[in-house]
């Protein structure tokens, strides 16, 4: 086993790259007769790439209104404009839309014509980040799979707005103005297939209640959460990735086995007020506890299984799976206690 010890953590950003061609390359390669098929119905403010006939690029054009969308369009890019309203007229023929990106515009709830979104029956992805919404728009297309509403001014979630969205797998509400009162017991009712819920950077003081049972990823960073209720995660038994960085969690706010949950593989509790390592499960693989108030770590006490039993069964027994442990920004001094290494035999990196 090779153990790497770092004094600081390099931040690694993985960026998905999308292959693109310049407009000039498209013009150079295109037969003029072939080009005319697409330019005849392409809005003059936009670009219709002949190599991607189902896409319409109207981004970064300074638009204040949405142009008429051709019937053949599946993917619509309208981000980085000055659009304030969504009306039915531009979408009359756009009955095949699957994807709409309206990020970074000036859309308000009052600017959304009643029913305009729900009439887009085939829409799967709706991006409305960085606008001026004050509540989740309703009604929404029943077939939606992803809804991104980050960085708005949302403080209200209308009753039943998600009740028919059985196909929704990702809901992003981070960096809005949500209080605990905005999340009622039936707020997320109907989201039977939701896998990722992001409510980071809001104004929550409590853990949200009645989350969909299929939730895999729960992001609650940058709130003011102080307490984890007893048996909270039994209601979301599949949760795998849990982020609670930048909250107000203390030792008293965590039940004795609050995070001893077999489904959790990645647990992030950075920038809280913990003075000790909370009990964890043997299945946990990544643990972030940096920038708390932890003074020491006792491997025998935090080991999720008996070290004696672990030695008896070796790698064929219930060996803890922890591979990454971050403890920097606390009051812990190197070296790493030997019993940490004895317990967590699969550790690949410790940041201290």
Q: Could you give the 3-state DSSP secondary structure of residue 112?
A: strand
Q: What is the pTM of this model?
A: 0.87
Q: What's the pLDDT tens digit per position in 34-64?
A: 445 556 689 999 999 999 999 999 999 999 9
| pLDDT tens profile 135-194 | 999 999 999 999 999 999 999 999 999 999 999 999 999 999 999 999 999 999 999 999
The predicted-structure confidence for 191-249, as pLDDT tens digits, reads as follows: 999 999 999 999 999 999 999 999 999 999 999 999 999 999 999 999 999 999 999 99
Confidence band for 333, pLDDT divided at 50, 70 and 90: confident
The CB density around residue 108, as the number of other CB atoms within 10 Å, is 17
């Amino acid at each position: 086993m090779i153990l790497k010890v770092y004094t600081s953590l390099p931040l690694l950003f993985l960026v998905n790259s999308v292959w693109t061609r310049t407009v000039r390359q498209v013009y150079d390669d295109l037969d003029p007769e072939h080009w005319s098929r697409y330019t005849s119905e392409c809005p003059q403010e936009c670009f219709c790439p002949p190599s991607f006939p189902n896409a319409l690029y109207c981004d970064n054009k300074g638009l204040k209104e949405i142009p008429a969308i051709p019937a053949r369009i599946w993917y619509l890019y309208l981000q980085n404009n000055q659009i304030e309203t969504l009306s039915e007229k531009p979408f009359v023929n756009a009955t095949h839309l699957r994807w709409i990106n309206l990020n970074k515009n000036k859309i308000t709830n009052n600017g959304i014509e009643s029913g305009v979104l729900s009439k887009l029956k085939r829409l799967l992805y709706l991006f409305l980040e960085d606008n001026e919404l004050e509540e989740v728009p309703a009604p929404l297309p029943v077939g939606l799979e992803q809804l991104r509403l980050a960085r708005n001014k949302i403080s209200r979630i209308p009753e039943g707005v998600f009740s028919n969205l059985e196909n929704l797998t990702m809901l992003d509400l981070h960096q809005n103005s949500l209080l605990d009162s905005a999340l009622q017991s039936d707020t997320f009712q109907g989201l039977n297939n939701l896998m990722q819920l992001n409510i980071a950077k809001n104004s929550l003081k409590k853990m949200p209640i009645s989350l969909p049972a299929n939730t895999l990823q729960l992001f609650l960073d940058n709130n003011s959460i102080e307490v984890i209720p007893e048996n909270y995660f039994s209601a979301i038994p599949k949760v795998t990735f849990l982020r609670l960085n930048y909250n107000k969690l203390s030792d008293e706010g965590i039940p004795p086995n609050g995070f001893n949950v077999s489904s959790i593989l990645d647990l992030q509790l950075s920038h809280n007020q913990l003075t000790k390592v909370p009990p964890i499960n043997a299945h946990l693989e990544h643990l972030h506890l940096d920038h708390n108030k932890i003074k020491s770590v006792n491997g025998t006490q935090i080991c999720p299984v008996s070290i004696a039993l672990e030695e008896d069964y070796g790698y064929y027994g219930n060996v803890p799976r922890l591979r990454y442990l971050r403890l920097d920004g606390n009051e812990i001094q190197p070296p790493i206690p030997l019993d940490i290494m004895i317990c967590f035999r699969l550790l690949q990196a410790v940041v201290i």
